[in-house]
């Protein structure tokens, strides 16, 4: 039984009067892509509700597959009124007869269908079809053993990419991610490698299942979906996006923008990572991939939609914030900080040592 549902079942019978205590109980479990998620019981219940909606939406996709064929989503518009025979439990009575593909995608692509839908709708399949079938393997053979600033930075970043993940943080996962990143660094020397791409490529590997498909998804993302020069040496495209976002924040959320400006807080300090990592480090993986569903179909505008939504959702809390670093925080000395560092250093080194021994054990077993 899924641990999330176990917790939901255990707490279903408790009285509302203990809601505050229940909210303080922390639950940990793995999500669909192997990442550890933690939150209180209410968070888990919300996640279960969202998952149920995704499952219901999945029935729509499967019904369309059965009715219109495996590649129905390549049609410009989809109609659900033509003899699909969906069950009433899907509660589709409020939907208009003609549902566009855009609306279906915004409600979420079923995880099992996500690889092939992404590959077709993003343009990755078309891009791959323009080169010889052996392109990816030939590229890897051609660059094997080559040493560049990009390959050195990639090697440096591999163990820092989603540490602790049951597959990505293993020699096999590191090797697969390295091949995708190194391969692309030679395909596009203007981009080469930029920190942030490691997280994007890692998540693509988890979704697409094969290195080659992940490579082509990365290629279409950088060459067609995102704005030019987002990942080049000077990050000029990223800087442009940050200025655009700042302007949009002022127009769409003027109170927040004015408040942050009064605090002399630059939103790019937060939003740059969102745009470079495409929310892969900031949102749970299942949420991030819902964003990417839309990203690969509608383009980079979704990044602005999501970033603005995050600020809007937190508007109340943000408007209550002040410059508290010195006004509200009690006096601290360098000695106090040093003592805390020594206290935490032992635990950090223990965790790193355990991780190293785990990786060495895996390498030994593979020999």
**CATH number where 332 lies:** 1.10.472.80
Residues 242, 219 share a domain: no
Do residues 243 and 352 both lie within one domain? yes
Q: In this model, does residue 138 exceed pLDDT 50?
A: yes
Do the domain assignments include residue 43? yes
Residue 15 has pLDDT above 80, yes or no: no
**pLDDT for 57-116, tens place per residue?**
889 888 888 888 888 788 654 444 443 444 433 333 333 333 568 888 999 999 999 999
The yes-or-no verdict on residue 44 having pLDDT over 50 is yes
- For residue range 327-361, list pLDDT tens digits in order: 555 666 777 767 777 778 777 788 778 878 887 88
Based on the domain organization, do 356 and 241 belong to the same domain?
yes
* Full-model pTM: 0.80
Asked which of 36, 54, 72 is the last residue of a domain, the reply is: 54
- Domain that residue 39 falls in: 18-54
Instruction: Express as a percent the part of the chain with pLDDT over 90.
Output: 57
Q: Is pLDDT larger for residue 85 or for residue 196? A: 196
57 burial via Cβ count (<10 Å: 0-12, 13-18, 19+): middle
* Greatest Cα-to-Cα distance within the chain, rounded to the nearest angstrom: 73
In terms of domains, do 206 and 241 share one? no
What CATH number has the domain bearing residue 208? 1.10.8.270
* Boundary (domain end) residue, out of 164, 191, 225: 225
Element (H, E) at 39: strand 36-40
Burial of 76 (0-12, 13-18, 19+ CB in 10 A): exposed
Tell me the H-state helices in 278-333.
285-298, 301-313, 315-319
Residue 1 lies in a domain: no
- Number of domains, the chain: 3
Q: 255 and 197 in one domain?
A: no
- CA–CA dist 80, 150 (Å, integer): 49
């Amino acid at each position: 039984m899924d641990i999330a549902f176990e917790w939901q079942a255990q707490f279903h019978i408790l009285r509302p009067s203990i809601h505050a205590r229940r909210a303080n109980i922390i639950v940990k479990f793995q999500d669909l892509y192997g990442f550890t998620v933690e939150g209180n019981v209410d968070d888990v219940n919300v996640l279960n509700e969202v998952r149920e909606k995704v499952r219901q939406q999945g029935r729509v996709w499967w019904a369309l597959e059965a009715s219109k064929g495996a590649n129905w989503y390549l049609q410009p518009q989809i109609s659900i009124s033509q003899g699909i025979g969906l069950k009433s439990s899907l509660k589709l009575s409020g939907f208009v007869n003609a549902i566009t593909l855009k609306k279906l995608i915004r409600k979420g692509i079923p995880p099992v269908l996500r690889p092939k839908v992404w590959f077709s709708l993003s343009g990755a399949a078309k891009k791959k079809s323009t080169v010889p079938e052996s392109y990816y393997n030939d590229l890897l053979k051609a660059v094997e053993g080559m040493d560049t600033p990009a390959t050195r930075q990639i090697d440096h970043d591999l163990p820092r990419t989603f540490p602790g993940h049951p597959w990505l943080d293993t020699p096999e996962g590191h090797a697969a991610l390295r091949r995708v990143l190194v391969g692309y660094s030679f395909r596009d020397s203007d981009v080469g490698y930029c920190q942030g791409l490691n997280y994007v490529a890692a998540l693509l590997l988890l979704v697409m299942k094969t290195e080659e498909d992940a490579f082509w998804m990365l290629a279409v993302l950088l060459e067609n979906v995102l704005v030019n020069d987002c990942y080049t040496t000077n990050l000029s495209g990223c800087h442009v996006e940050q200025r655009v976002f700042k302007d949009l924040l002022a127009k769409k959320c003027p109170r927040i923008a004015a408040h942050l400006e009064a605090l002399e807080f630059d939103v790019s300090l937060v939003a740059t990572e969102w745009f470079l990592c495409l929310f892969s480090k900031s949102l749970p993986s299942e949420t991030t991939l819902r964003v990417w569903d839309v990203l690969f179909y509608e383009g980079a505008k979704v990044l602005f939609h999501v970033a603005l939504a995050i600020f809007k959702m937190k508007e109340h809390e943000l408007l209550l914030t002040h410059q508290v670093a010195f006004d509200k925080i009690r006096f601290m000395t360098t000695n106090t900080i040093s003592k805390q560092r020594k206290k935490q250093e032992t635990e950090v080194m223990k965790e790193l040592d355990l991780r190293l021994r785990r990786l060495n054990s895996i390498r030994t077993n593979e020999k």
